[in-house]
A and B are shown apart, each in its own frame.
Chain A
Protein backbone atom coordinates (compact mmCIF):
# COMPACT_ATOMS: atom_id res chain seq x y z
CA UNK A 1 0.00 0.00 0.00
CA UNK A 2 2.85 2.35 0.80
CA UNK A 3 4.49 2.28 -2.60
CA UNK A 4 1.15 2.34 -4.36
CA UNK A 5 0.04 5.39 -2.50
CA UNK A 6 2.92 7.54 -3.67
CA UNK A 7 3.15 6.07 -7.15
CA UNK A 8 2.09 8.12 -10.13
CA UNK A 9 -0.24 6.71 -12.74
CA UNK A 10 0.41 3.05 -13.37
CA UNK A 11 0.51 1.90 -16.99
CA UNK A 12 -3.09 0.88 -17.06
CA UNK A 13 -4.13 3.92 -15.04
CA UNK A 14 -6.65 5.07 -17.55
CA UNK A 15 -8.24 1.73 -18.19
CA UNK A 16 -11.59 3.14 -19.10
CA UNK A 17 -14.12 3.83 -16.35
CA UNK A 18 -13.36 0.95 -14.12
CA UNK A 19 -12.89 3.19 -11.17
CA UNK A 20 -15.40 4.34 -8.59
CA UNK A 21 -17.44 7.49 -9.29
CA UNK A 22 -15.75 9.13 -6.29
CA UNK A 23 -12.26 8.94 -7.78
CA UNK A 24 -11.08 12.27 -9.15
CA UNK A 25 -9.31 11.97 -12.47
CA UNK A 26 -5.99 13.31 -11.24
CA UNK A 27 -5.53 10.40 -8.85
CA UNK A 28 -4.50 6.93 -9.95
CA UNK A 29 -6.23 4.96 -7.23
CA UNK A 30 -8.70 5.56 -4.43
CA UNK A 31 -5.99 4.79 -1.90
CA UNK A 32 -3.83 7.50 -3.40
CA UNK A 33 -6.71 9.98 -3.34
CA UNK A 34 -7.47 9.08 0.23
CA UNK A 35 -3.88 9.42 1.36
CA UNK A 36 -3.45 12.77 -0.40
CA UNK A 37 -6.48 14.06 1.46
CA UNK A 38 -5.33 12.72 4.84
CA UNK A 39 -1.88 14.13 4.19
CA UNK A 40 -3.33 17.61 3.62
CA UNK A 41 -5.35 17.34 6.82
CA UNK A 42 -2.25 16.34 8.77
CA UNK A 43 -0.31 19.31 7.41
CA UNK A 44 -3.09 21.54 8.73
CA UNK A 45 -2.98 19.78 12.10
CA UNK A 46 0.80 20.31 12.27
CA UNK A 47 0.25 24.06 11.85
CA UNK A 48 -2.28 23.77 14.68
CA UNK A 49 0.39 22.13 16.85
CA UNK A 50 2.60 25.18 16.23
CA UNK A 51 -0.32 27.51 17.01
CA UNK A 52 -1.09 25.88 20.36
CA UNK A 53 2.63 25.26 20.93
CA UNK A 54 3.35 28.98 21.11
CA UNK A 55 0.79 29.36 23.88
CA UNK A 56 2.09 26.30 25.71
CA UNK A 57 5.60 27.79 25.57
CA UNK A 58 4.31 31.08 26.97
CA UNK A 59 2.71 29.12 29.79
CA UNK A 60 5.99 27.30 30.46
CA UNK A 61 8.03 30.52 30.63
CA UNK A 62 5.59 32.49 32.80
CA UNK A 63 5.13 29.51 35.08
CA UNK A 64 8.86 29.54 35.73
CA UNK A 65 8.97 33.28 36.26
CA UNK A 66 5.97 33.60 38.58
CA UNK A 67 5.95 30.13 40.03
CA UNK A 68 4.20 30.90 43.38
CA UNK A 69 1.46 32.82 41.57
CA UNK A 70 0.88 29.94 39.14
CA UNK A 71 0.68 27.46 42.00
CA UNK A 72 -1.79 29.66 43.92
CA UNK A 73 -3.88 30.26 40.79
CA UNK A 74 -4.12 26.61 39.84
CA UNK A 75 -5.26 25.70 43.35
CA UNK A 76 -8.58 27.31 42.41
CA UNK A 77 -9.19 24.88 39.55
CA UNK A 78 -11.89 22.30 40.15
CA UNK A 79 -10.10 19.00 39.64
CA UNK A 80 -13.37 17.05 39.53
CA UNK A 81 -14.61 19.25 36.65
CA UNK A 82 -11.33 18.87 34.75
CA UNK A 83 -11.33 15.10 35.25
CA UNK A 84 -14.96 14.84 34.17
CA UNK A 85 -14.28 16.92 31.07
CA UNK A 86 -11.23 14.82 30.17
CA UNK A 87 -13.40 11.71 30.44
CA UNK A 88 -16.15 13.30 28.33
CA UNK A 89 -13.65 14.20 25.59
CA UNK A 90 -12.08 10.73 25.59
CA UNK A 91 -15.57 9.21 25.27
CA UNK A 92 -16.32 11.57 22.38
CA UNK A 93 -13.06 10.56 20.67
CA UNK A 94 -14.13 6.93 20.99
CA UNK A 95 -17.59 7.62 19.54
CA UNK A 96 -15.95 9.60 16.71
CA UNK A 97 -13.61 6.68 15.94
CA UNK A 98 -16.69 4.44 15.88
CA UNK A 99 -18.44 6.90 13.54
CA UNK A 100 -15.52 6.61 11.09
CA UNK A 101 -15.74 2.83 11.43
CA UNK A 102 -19.49 2.93 10.72
CA UNK A 103 -18.88 5.01 7.59
CA UNK A 104 -16.20 2.54 6.50
CA UNK A 105 -18.54 -0.41 6.96
CA UNK A 106 -21.36 1.62 5.33
CA UNK A 107 -23.84 1.52 8.19
CA UNK A 108 -25.92 4.65 8.00
CA UNK A 109 -27.86 4.18 11.24
CA UNK A 110 -24.74 3.44 13.28
CA UNK A 111 -23.00 6.43 11.69
CA UNK A 112 -25.87 8.72 12.66
CA UNK A 113 -25.95 7.30 16.17
CA UNK A 114 -22.22 7.75 16.76
CA UNK A 115 -22.09 11.22 15.22
CA UNK A 116 -25.02 12.32 17.41
CA UNK A 117 -23.32 10.89 20.50
CA UNK A 118 -20.14 12.77 19.62
CA UNK A 119 -22.14 15.96 19.19
CA UNK A 120 -23.87 15.43 22.52
CA UNK A 121 -20.56 14.83 24.33
CA UNK A 122 -19.13 17.94 22.68
CA UNK A 123 -21.99 19.98 24.15
CA UNK A 124 -21.50 18.36 27.57
CA UNK A 125 -17.83 19.40 27.50
CA UNK A 126 -18.71 22.98 26.58
CA UNK A 127 -21.41 23.05 29.26
CA UNK A 128 -19.00 21.98 32.02
CA UNK A 129 -16.43 24.47 30.74
CA UNK A 130 -19.03 27.25 30.79
CA UNK A 131 -19.93 26.29 34.37
CA UNK A 132 -16.26 26.59 35.38
CA UNK A 133 -15.86 29.93 33.63
CA UNK A 134 -18.97 31.20 35.35
CA UNK A 135 -17.53 30.20 38.72
CA UNK A 136 -14.29 31.99 37.93
CA UNK A 137 -16.28 35.09 37.11
CA UNK A 138 -18.14 34.85 40.43
CA UNK A 139 -14.83 34.37 42.29
CA UNK A 140 -13.33 37.51 40.65
CA UNK A 141 -10.67 35.51 38.81
CA UNK A 142 -11.13 36.99 35.34
CA UNK A 143 -8.17 39.29 34.55
CA UNK A 144 -9.05 42.62 32.98
CA UNK A 145 -12.80 42.29 33.54
CA UNK A 146 -13.45 41.08 37.04
CA UNK A 147 -10.34 40.42 39.07
CA UNK A 148 -9.36 40.72 42.71
CA UNK A 149 -6.13 39.56 44.35
CA UNK A 150 -8.02 39.02 47.61
CA UNK A 151 -8.05 35.23 47.35
CA UNK A 152 -4.28 35.16 46.97
CA UNK A 153 -3.17 37.58 49.67
CA UNK A 154 -5.01 35.55 52.31
CA UNK A 155 -4.55 31.93 53.35
CA UNK A 156 -6.74 29.67 51.25
CA UNK A 157 -8.82 27.55 53.70
CA UNK A 158 -8.58 24.53 51.41
CA UNK A 159 -4.79 24.79 51.37
CA UNK A 160 -3.98 25.84 54.95
CA UNK A 161 -0.27 25.17 54.40
CA UNK A 162 -0.08 27.78 51.61
CA UNK A 163 1.54 31.03 52.56
CA UNK A 164 -0.36 34.12 51.43
CA UNK A 165 1.33 35.83 48.49
CA UNK A 166 2.89 39.28 48.70
CA UNK A 167 0.73 41.80 46.80
CA UNK A 168 3.13 42.07 43.84
CA UNK A 169 3.28 38.27 43.39
CA UNK A 170 -0.49 38.04 43.97
CA UNK A 171 -0.93 40.40 41.00
CA UNK A 172 0.93 37.86 38.88
CA UNK A 173 -1.85 35.32 39.35
CA UNK A 174 -3.42 37.36 36.55
CA UNK A 175 -0.76 35.89 34.25
CA UNK A 176 -1.90 32.41 35.22
CA UNK A 177 -5.57 33.22 34.67
CA UNK A 178 -4.89 35.07 31.41
CA UNK A 179 -3.08 32.03 30.02
CA UNK A 180 -5.80 29.76 31.45
CA UNK A 181 -8.56 31.70 29.69
CA UNK A 182 -6.52 31.99 26.50
CA UNK A 183 -5.71 28.27 26.31
CA UNK A 184 -9.10 26.94 27.39
CA UNK A 185 -10.83 29.64 25.31
CA UNK A 186 -9.02 28.80 22.08
CA UNK A 187 -9.57 25.13 22.80
CA UNK A 188 -13.29 25.73 23.35
CA UNK A 189 -13.37 27.71 20.11
CA UNK A 190 -12.01 24.64 18.34
CA UNK A 191 -14.73 22.60 20.04
CA UNK A 192 -17.36 25.06 18.80
CA UNK A 193 -16.04 24.78 15.25
CA UNK A 194 -16.05 21.00 15.63
CA UNK A 195 -19.62 20.95 16.94
CA UNK A 196 -20.77 23.13 14.02
CA UNK A 197 -19.14 20.84 11.46
CA UNK A 198 -20.68 17.85 13.27
CA UNK A 199 -24.16 19.33 12.78
CA UNK A 200 -23.40 19.63 9.07
CA UNK A 201 -22.05 16.04 8.96
CA UNK A 202 -25.13 14.67 10.72
CA UNK A 203 -27.40 16.47 8.26
CA UNK A 204 -25.48 15.03 5.30
CA UNK A 205 -25.28 11.55 6.83
CA UNK A 206 -29.02 11.66 7.42
CA UNK A 207 -29.46 12.30 3.70
CA UNK A 208 -27.32 9.23 3.05
CA UNK A 209 -23.84 10.64 2.52
CA UNK A 210 -20.53 9.04 3.64
CA UNK A 211 -21.83 5.48 3.58
CA UNK A 212 -21.39 4.95 -0.15
CA UNK A 213 -17.64 4.43 -0.07
CA UNK A 214 -16.58 8.06 -0.17
CA UNK A 215 -15.82 9.19 3.34
CA UNK A 216 -12.75 11.43 3.32
CA UNK A 217 -14.74 14.26 4.92
CA UNK A 218 -15.77 12.09 7.89
CA UNK A 219 -12.26 10.71 8.19
CA UNK A 220 -10.58 14.11 8.14
CA UNK A 221 -13.09 15.55 10.56
CA UNK A 222 -12.29 12.59 12.83
CA UNK A 223 -8.62 13.61 12.69
CA UNK A 224 -9.56 17.16 13.70
CA UNK A 225 -11.75 15.99 16.57
CA UNK A 226 -9.03 13.67 17.93
CA UNK A 227 -6.52 16.50 17.65
CA UNK A 228 -8.69 18.77 19.79
CA UNK A 229 -8.88 15.90 22.29
CA UNK A 230 -5.06 15.68 22.34
CA UNK A 231 -4.77 19.40 23.12
CA UNK A 232 -7.04 18.90 26.12
CA UNK A 233 -4.99 15.86 27.21
CA UNK A 234 -2.08 18.31 27.68
CA UNK A 235 -4.10 21.25 29.02
CA UNK A 236 -5.66 19.19 31.80
CA UNK A 237 -2.46 18.25 33.69
CA UNK A 238 -0.75 21.58 33.00
CA UNK A 239 -3.58 23.80 34.25
CA UNK A 240 -5.24 21.60 36.86
CA UNK A 241 -2.90 18.97 38.24
CA UNK A 242 0.82 19.67 38.36
CA UNK A 243 0.79 22.33 41.08
CA UNK A 244 -1.53 20.52 43.44
CA UNK A 245 1.14 20.01 46.08
CA UNK A 246 3.59 22.85 45.67
Chain B
Protein backbone atom coordinates (compact mmCIF):
# COMPACT_ATOMS: atom_id res chain seq x y z
CA UNK B 1 0.00 0.00 0.00
CA UNK B 2 2.71 2.47 0.88
CA UNK B 3 5.21 1.17 -1.61
CA UNK B 4 6.83 4.26 -3.12
CA UNK B 5 5.87 4.69 -6.75
CA UNK B 6 8.81 5.00 -9.02
CA UNK B 7 8.50 7.31 -12.04
CA UNK B 8 8.86 5.82 -15.48
CA UNK B 9 9.99 9.37 -16.13
CA UNK B 10 13.59 9.73 -17.34
CA UNK B 11 16.03 11.07 -14.78
CA UNK B 12 18.74 12.99 -16.63
CA UNK B 13 22.23 12.18 -15.43
CA UNK B 14 24.32 15.09 -14.04
CA UNK B 15 26.98 14.29 -16.65
CA UNK B 16 24.53 15.41 -19.34
CA UNK B 17 23.84 18.63 -17.42
CA UNK B 18 27.56 19.25 -17.01
CA UNK B 19 28.17 18.73 -20.74
CA UNK B 20 25.34 21.14 -21.65
CA UNK B 21 26.64 23.63 -19.09
CA UNK B 22 30.10 23.46 -20.67
CA UNK B 23 28.65 23.91 -24.16
CA UNK B 24 26.64 26.97 -23.03
CA UNK B 25 29.74 28.61 -21.55
CA UNK B 26 31.68 27.82 -24.72
CA UNK B 27 28.99 29.38 -26.93
CA UNK B 28 28.92 32.47 -24.69
CA UNK B 29 32.67 32.89 -25.17
CA UNK B 30 32.21 32.28 -28.90
CA UNK B 31 29.49 34.91 -29.30
CA UNK B 32 31.56 37.54 -27.46
CA UNK B 33 34.56 36.67 -29.63
CA UNK B 34 32.47 36.75 -32.84
CA UNK B 35 31.19 40.22 -31.92
CA UNK B 36 34.78 41.51 -31.94
CA UNK B 37 35.16 40.53 -35.60
CA UNK B 38 34.03 42.83 -38.37
CA UNK B 39 31.38 40.80 -40.22
CA UNK B 40 28.95 43.45 -41.40
CA UNK B 41 25.35 42.21 -41.34
CA UNK B 42 26.60 38.78 -40.39
CA UNK B 43 27.49 40.01 -36.89
CA UNK B 44 23.78 39.97 -36.10
CA UNK B 45 23.20 36.69 -37.96
CA UNK B 46 26.01 34.89 -36.14
CA UNK B 47 24.98 36.32 -32.73
CA UNK B 48 21.35 35.26 -33.20
CA UNK B 49 22.31 31.82 -34.56
CA UNK B 50 24.44 31.20 -31.46
CA UNK B 51 21.60 32.43 -29.22
CA UNK B 52 19.17 30.03 -30.94
CA UNK B 53 21.60 27.13 -30.46
CA UNK B 54 22.03 28.00 -26.75
CA UNK B 55 18.28 28.32 -26.21
CA UNK B 56 17.69 24.99 -27.95
CA UNK B 57 20.24 23.29 -25.68
CA UNK B 58 18.53 24.73 -22.59
CA UNK B 59 15.07 23.65 -23.80
CA UNK B 60 16.15 20.14 -24.83
CA UNK B 61 18.24 19.22 -21.80
CA UNK B 62 17.74 21.55 -18.83
CA UNK B 63 14.01 21.70 -19.53
CA UNK B 64 13.87 17.97 -20.37
CA UNK B 65 12.04 18.36 -23.67
CA UNK B 66 14.29 15.80 -25.34
CA UNK B 67 12.79 13.25 -22.92
CA UNK B 68 9.21 14.52 -23.04
CA UNK B 69 6.14 13.25 -24.84
CA UNK B 70 5.30 14.09 -28.44
CA UNK B 71 2.33 16.12 -27.18
CA UNK B 72 4.61 18.50 -25.32
CA UNK B 73 7.16 18.69 -28.14
CA UNK B 74 4.44 19.47 -30.68
CA UNK B 75 2.84 22.10 -28.43
CA UNK B 76 6.12 23.94 -27.94
CA UNK B 77 7.01 23.79 -31.63
CA UNK B 78 3.60 25.15 -32.62
CA UNK B 79 3.91 27.92 -30.00
CA UNK B 80 7.29 28.99 -31.33
CA UNK B 81 5.99 28.72 -34.91
CA UNK B 82 3.02 30.93 -34.01
CA UNK B 83 5.43 33.46 -32.50
CA UNK B 84 7.42 33.56 -35.76
CA UNK B 85 4.19 33.98 -37.76
CA UNK B 86 3.23 36.99 -35.59
CA UNK B 87 6.66 38.61 -36.00
CA UNK B 88 6.59 38.01 -39.77
CA UNK B 89 3.14 39.51 -40.16
CA UNK B 90 4.05 42.56 -38.07
CA UNK B 91 7.19 43.13 -40.11
CA UNK B 92 5.30 42.62 -43.39
CA UNK B 93 2.98 45.41 -42.34
CA UNK B 94 5.77 47.81 -41.35
CA UNK B 95 7.87 47.11 -44.44
CA UNK B 96 5.00 47.54 -46.89
CA UNK B 97 3.86 50.82 -45.31
CA UNK B 98 7.20 52.53 -45.86
CA UNK B 99 8.02 50.84 -49.15
CA UNK B 100 11.57 51.48 -50.27
CA UNK B 101 12.65 53.13 -47.04
CA UNK B 102 14.00 49.89 -45.52
A interface residues with partner B (beta carbon < 8 Å): 1-2, 4-6, 17-20, 23, 30-31, 34-35, 38-39, 42-43, 46, 49-50, 53, 56-57, 60-61, 64, 79, 83, 86-87, 90-91, 93-94, 96-98, 101, 104-105, 213, 222-223, 226-227, 229-230, 233-234, 236-238, 240-246
- A213 to B11, alpha carbons, bound, how many Å? 13
Interface residues of B in 6-49 (CB under 8 A from A): 7-9, 11-12, 14, 17-18, 20-21, 24-25, 28, 31-32, 35-39, 43-44, 47-48
Which of B11, B44, B75, B83 is in CB contact (< 8 Å) with A43? B75
A243 to B86, CA, bound (A): 25
Interface contact A226-B63, CB-CB below 8 Å: yes
Interface size on B, residues (CB 8 A): 53
Min CB distance, B20 to chain A, in Å? 8
Contact assessment for A49 and B31 in the assembled complex, using a CB-CB cutoff below 8 Å = no
Q: Determine whether the beta carbon of B71 is less than 8 Å from that of A101.
A: no
Report how far A98 CA is from B20 CA in the complex, Å: 12
Given contacts A42-B72, A64-B102, contact A242 B11 (CB under 8 A): no
Chain A residues with Cβ under 8 A from B100's Cβ? none
Interface pair B36/A244, CB less than 8 Å apart = yes
For the complex formed, measure the closest distance between the CB of B6 and the CB atoms of chain A, giving whole angstroms. Answer: 8
Which of chain A's residues have a CB closer than 8 A to the CB of B80?
49
What does DSSP make chain B's interface, helix, strand, loop or mixed? helix
Q: By DSSP majority rule, is chain A's interface helix, strand, loop, or mixed? A: helix
- Complex contacts, B17 vs chain A, CB 8 Å: 94, 97-98, 101
Instruction: Please tell me if the beta carbons of A34 and B7 are within 8 angstroms of each other in the complex.
Output: yes
By the criterion CB–CB under 8 Å, are B91 and A61 in contact?
yes
How far is B75's CA from A246's CA once the two chains are assembled, in angstroms? 39
The residue among B5, B36, B44, B94 with the most chain A CB atoms within 10 A of its own CB is B5
A94 to B15, CA, bound (A): 11
**CB < 8 Å neighbour of B43 from A31, A38, A245:** A245
Let me know if B72 and A39 touch, CB within 8 A: yes
Contacts of B87 in A (CB 8 A): 53, 56-57, 60
B50 contacts across to A, CB distance below 8 A: 237
- Do residues A35 and B69 form an inter-chain contact, with CB atoms below 8 A? yes
Q: Name 28 A/B residue pairs within 8 A (Cβ), A-sorted.
A: A1-B9, A2-B71, A5-B71, A6-B69, A6-B71, A17-B1, A18-B1, A18-B3, A39-B71, A42-B72, A46-B79, A60-B91, A61-B90, A61-B91, A83-B28, A87-B25, A93-B62, A94-B17, A94-B18, A97-B61, A97-B62, A98-B14, A101-B12, A105-B11, A236-B31, A237-B35, A241-B43, A246-B43
